[in-house]
Structure 1
Amino acid sequence: MMCIKAKYFDLNRILLLIIGLWPYQQSKLDRLRFIFFLGILTTAILFQFTTFLNSKCTANFVIKILSNSLIFTIFVIQYIFFAINIETMKDLLTQLQYVYDQLKDECENAIVEKYNCNAKRHTIVLTAFCICSICALIVAQFWSNVIGIILPINVSQAHRLPVMAEYFVDQEKYFSLILLHLDAAICVGSGVLLSTGTMLIAYLEHICGLFKISSYRIKHAMRAIVLQNISTKNDTLMLEEIRCAVDIHRQAMELSKTLTSKFEAMLFCLIAIGVILLSLNLFQIFQIPLNGDNVDEILIPSVVVFASILYMFCANYLGQYITDHNNHVFVTVYNVQWYIAPLYVQKLILFLLLRNAKDFTIDVGGLYIASLESFATLVKASVSYFTVIYSTQ
């Protein structure tokens, strides 16, 4: 029996083990690691909001704090919800294992391998991108010190944190420790997004593979009807293959619906915060030159805007990806020579046609449908809110 955890989710297992969220290994050490990392993230948010105690709460100041603290809020939300649904992920992997245990055709196994390669490719690319981004951030923080060593100047440069935070200590004296805490929070948060996000991507890739297997089974069954003489024995075999195609199609839809329903609250929060975050950072980008601030301060809001748009696009593209694969099953059923099949086979095919008459989508509470059109809607809404905020200044 093939173990999908070891063969298909090995990279995801390593990433989730680092943050203590691998469903099949929950020791006391993993729980302590989860509490420790969650503490780093929550304290990073807390020390950003404490700046309101010692500063004048102007509109621009509030926007600046929120545009940074919401990033860490996303980290915490995704971390907590994934921890809450860790048993759900374990059950989903078990269900996927059961489906794969029923595969016997080498072509079907080849389809699984293809989509597994896609999942691993996405995981590797996103991991490399995350590591490079963190390294670039750390280098940027110490770049001025490096320049000061290479080209010494007499003017002392004040230390500056990547985000505004109040620790109620001498910031100059304890700058290294404060910076270490914030950098640790950024690294942990990035690791949370990377590990949980790539796990969900890998799982949805395998669901798409199930849709593809359903299309293959339909083609294979109808091809056999065309090439072979119709007999009672052959009819029984064709009926069984069509039934298996319908069954795996049903299982693929159920797995995707279960995954969406369990993470529905998390998705609602991420959608709302993502729109607000994008709007506030767009405002930051346009406001910095007007206030006469340093141009280099525009770097962080620009990175956040790029990351927010990329995150929204990837999430909605996955929803569109699922819908397209389901539609491909419909196109396959429609294009095969179903009219030459026996009547009871045609009834099964008609069942698939009727089921696919309505698009199968990844929807969140019936209010939001993950698709490229919805991605455009989110970006448009963010720009609209930015315009409203900007017009009020």
Structure 2
Amino acid sequence: MINISNQLNLNRKIFLAIGLWPYQKSKFAQFYSICCFSILATFIIFQLTTFVTSKCTIDLVIQILSPTSAFISTLVVYYSFYNNSETVKYLIEQLQRICDNIKDKNEILIIERYANHAKRYTIMLITVAVYGISCVMGVQLWPTFCDIILSAKVTRPQYWLKMEYFIDEERYFYVSLLHTNVALIIASLTTIGTGALIIVYFQYACAMFQIASYRLEQAIQIYTVQGVILLNEKMIYKKIVCAIDIHRKAMMFTDQIISTFQMLLMILLISTVIVLSLNFYCALKAASLGYIKDFFTPSLIGSACLLFLFLCCFVVQQVTDENEHIFVTAYKIRWYLTSVRIQTLILFLLQRGNKPYGLYIGKLFPISLQFFATISNTSVSYCAVMYSVGW
């Protein structure tokens, strides 16, 4: 028997760390969620308050908005998952109900294989996040390490982001540094946790489509013993119905994921283009001027955003490919050797394959690897335009 809770153990720990686990609804958990949200919100506010104390120029606007836009997107994601916690919980329970009806050993192996794929994606995201956070913290804490351990005087660096706390920066340096790093950790965990859970959903959807193909293949087994002998027609009919049923459940499941987060996806689509364009521009300008210290932050944010976008598009592309594989399987099997009743049933399945299937953002933009290439090219184009006009 498949236990979804055990397979989501790593995802559960990440969600608990940021107060978004839907099964944890105590007063303390709600207070903890408010604290995490407030830290992210105040972190964004203290970046925007730089406009109050500094002269507003195009360079300053781009320099502040390039990281701030990424954190605003994270804040929107946090609120969306908190607000849709019941739907997140329902999707997990729906997966459990589907898995409870799977008894075949080969089908269980298919589920476990895709569950392991989802776990590897999660571990990869955690590894990248730990590496990025370690680099940022290492740069900030290096002067303190040299001063205390090596007894060497090293100039304390400025913040890796432009911030304005309206306090004595020298005296309260470590207080502001703590707030910055905690906000960075929460933002990273929010991105990893929510993204990894969406990947888990789609990996299970891939498993369901794969099971549908497997059931269809098993339904039409041809044994040649001095001629063609078909399996029991009633058993074949039942297996085809089971294949169509789990295919229908998989499509409904994926459509529900997209419909639940439709508004969030539209916002992220716009913000992703903004984040990539601004950060690529800042990194390009810093590299052209030889400002290595200004190159680090935008390149890190831009690379992380690009990696996350590619991973999401790649996983959704897998869902589309697995769905198409069902109809390829239906064409390949020797359905013409079956009875007219079964041929009619398979014909309905083949007709469904004539309609293009995809997961759309706002019913306009199909999520796929081509969509990733389009977003990347659009962001690079905007970056090139900003650089050419001399901003």
Residue 367 (structure 1) aligns with = 364
Residue 385 (structure 2) aligns with = 388
How far residue 290 of structure 1 moved from its aligned partner, in angstroms, is 5.3
Residue 336 (structure 2) aligns with = 339
Greater CA deviation, 34-43 or 12-21?
Answer: 12-21
Tell me the TM-score normalized by structure 2.
0.94
Checking the alignment, whether the CA contact within 8 Å between 2:19 and 2:36 is kept in structure 1 is no
Alpha-carbon distance change, 286 to 7 in structure 1, aligned in 2, over 3 angstroms: closer
What aligned pairs does 1:287-298 form with structure 2 within 5 A after superposition? 287-289=285-287, 294-298=291-295
Checking the alignment, whether the CA contact within 8 Å between 1:67 and 1:281 is kept in structure 2 is yes
What aligned pairs does 1:267-346 form with structure 2 within 5 A after superposition? 267-289=265-287, 294-346=291-343
What aligned pairs does 1:15-94 form with structure 2 within 5 A after superposition? 15-94=14-93
Note the aligned Cα RMSD (angstroms). 1.9
Residue-by-residue CA offset, 1:75-122 (whole Å, 9 max, x unaligned): 101101111111111111222222112112111111111111111121
Q: Distance in 2 between matches of 1:25 and 1:178?
A: 30
Q: Distance in 2 between matches of 1:163 and 1:139?
A: 15
Residue 102 (structure 1) aligns with = 101
Alpha-carbon distance change, 199 to 296 in structure 1, aligned in 2, over 3 angstroms: same
SS in structure 2 at match of 1:168: coil
Partner letter of residue 32 of structure 2? Answer: R
Q: Distance in 2 between matches of 1:290 and 1:328?
A: 47
Residue 219 (structure 1) aligns with = 217
How far residue 226 of structure 1 moved from its aligned partner, in angstroms, is 6.7
How far residue 128 of structure 1 moved from its aligned partner, in angstroms, is 2.4
Residue 137 (structure 1) aligns with = 136
Alpha-carbon distance change, 336 to 290 in structure 1, aligned in 2, over 3 angstroms: closer
Q: Distance in 2 between matches of 1:321 and 1:230?
A: 33
How far residue 365 of structure 1 moved from its aligned partner, in angstroms, is 1.3
Alpha-carbon distance change, 224 to 83 in structure 1, aligned in 2, over 3 angstroms: farther
How far residue 286 of structure 1 moved from its aligned partner, in angstroms, is 2.3
Checking the alignment, whether the CA contact within 8 Å between 1:318 and 1:370 is kept in structure 2 is no
Alpha-carbon distance change, 80 to 135 in structure 1, aligned in 2, over 3 angstroms: same
Greater CA deviation, 62-71 or 350-359?
Answer: 350-359
Residue-by-residue CA offset, 1:201-256 (whole Å, 9 max, x unaligned): 1111111000000000000011157788447xx11111010000001001000000
Q: Distance in 1 between matches of 2:19 and 2:371?
A: 33
Residue 179 (structure 1) aligns with = 177
Q: Distance in 2 between matches of 1:118 and 1:312?
A: 18
Residue-by-residue CA offset, 1:329-355 (whole Å, 9 max, x unaligned): 111111111111111111121111111
**Structure 1 segments unaligned to the other structure (5+ residues):** none
How far residue 307 of structure 1 moved from its aligned partner, in angstroms, is 0.9
Residue 350 (structure 1) aligns with = 347
Residue 164 (structure 2) aligns with = 166
Q: Distance in 2 between matches of 1:291 and 1:109?
A: 57
**Structure 2 segments unaligned to the other structure (5+ residues):** none
Checking the alignment, whether the CA contact within 8 Å between 2:4 and 2:95 is kept in structure 1 is no
Residue-by-residue CA offset, 1:331-390 (whole Å, 9 max, x unaligned): 111111111111111112111111112232111111111111110100110011112211
- Aligned residue-pair number: 388
Q: Distance in 2 between matches of 1:151 and 1:183?
A: 24
1:193 partnered with 2:180: no
Q: Distance in 1 between matches of 2:345 and 2:88?
A: 32
